[in-house]
């Protein structure tokens, strides 16, 4: 090999080494800058909204519930509460429930963290048809079913909560306290929104038999006409617990 060829070969090797170093630095930078898959799907709260569709809930009452949830997820104060957490997002899904084996997940898991995703989730609730009609009031069945859904969520959350609303006491299926205790043992909290239209003391029943876990609470709707105000307050309190 001539001296000229040798110099050219050395120069090419030097250039290739420099390119490899630059490529390595670029890869290192991208790895540091890009969030991990877990970080991309992190949420401050995983929330199952369990909505009563039992026989006592006629279509007018059912629509009032739906409108309340839709309005809440379009409300600026709910979005403000969502953004108050360290991950600035919550994972949420919706279930309709009636009897012991009658539950349907009508809106799948979604990540809500900005106006667009909140509006998308609200629209999904609005589009979801009523899937169940009658079958008794099994709060225990609703809790048992809702508890299984957390394992299906693609999002990682530091808190898991079932938000259950209804207008009657448990009258089908196993004891509601057994279902509650099983959920609590699995690290799942339960909050309640009793609607007092038919059972004036239902709030006491929820306090004693349904809710549980750190910071668990009840917010009452006196009737279906006040449900929208109650669910707005409840969601804000539920989500804002991320700040504690």
pTM score, whole prediction: 0.83
pLDDT in 10s for each residue of the chain, 244 residues: 555 444 534 544 554 444 344 334 333 332 333 334 444 489 999 999 999 999 999 999 999 999 999 999 999 999 999 999 999 999 999 999 999 999 999 999 999 999 999 999 999 999 999 999 989 999 999 999 999 999 999 999 989 999 999 999 999 999 999 999 999 999 999 999 999 999 999 999 999 999 999 999 999 999 999 999 999 999 999 998 755 4
Domain holding 182, by residue range, is 42-243
Do 126 and 11 sit in the same domain of this protein?
no
**Contact criterion met (CB below 8 Å) for 72 and 235:** yes
- Look at the chain and report how many structural domains it folds into: 2
Do 87 and 177 sit in the same domain of this protein?
yes
- Strands of 45-52's sheet, edge to edge? 103-112, 90-97, 45-52, 160-166, 189-194
CB neighbour list of residue 177: distance below 8 Å, 6 or more residues apart = 209
Do 111 and 12 sit in the same domain of this protein?
no
Do 94 and 159 sit in the same domain of this protein?
yes
Do 23 and 122 sit in the same domain of this protein?
no
């Amino acid at each position: 090999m001539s001296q000229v060829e040798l110099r050219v070969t050395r120069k090419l090797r030097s250039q290739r080494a420099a390119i490899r170093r630059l490529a390595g630095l670029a890869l290192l930078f991208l790895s540091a800058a890009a969030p991990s898959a877990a970080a991309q799907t992190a949420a401050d709260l995983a929330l199952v909204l369990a909505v009563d569709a039992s026989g006592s809930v006629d279509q007018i009452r059912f629509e009032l519930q739906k409108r309340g949830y839709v309005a809440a997820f379009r409300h600026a104060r709910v979005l403000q509460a969502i953004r108050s957490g360290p991950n600035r997002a919550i994972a949420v899904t919706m279930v309709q429930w009636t009897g012991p084996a009658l539950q349907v997940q009508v809106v799948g898991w979604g990540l809500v963290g900005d106006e667009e995703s909140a509006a998308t989730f609200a629209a999904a609730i609005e589009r979801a048809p009523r899937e169940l009609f009658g079958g008794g009031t099994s709060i225990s069945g609703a809790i048992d079913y809702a508890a299984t859904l957390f394992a299906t969520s693609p999002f990682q959350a530091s808190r898991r909560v079932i938000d259950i609303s209804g207008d009657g006491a448990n009258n089908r299926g196993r004891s509601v306290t057994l279902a509650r205790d099983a959920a609590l043992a699995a690290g799942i909290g339960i909050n309640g929104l009793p609607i007092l239209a038919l059972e004036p003391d239902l709030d006491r029943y929820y306090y004693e038999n349904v809710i549980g876990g750190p910071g668990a609470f009840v917010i009452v709707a006196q009737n279906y006409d006040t449900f929208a105000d109650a669910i707005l307050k409840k969601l804000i309190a539920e989500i804002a617990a991320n700040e504690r």
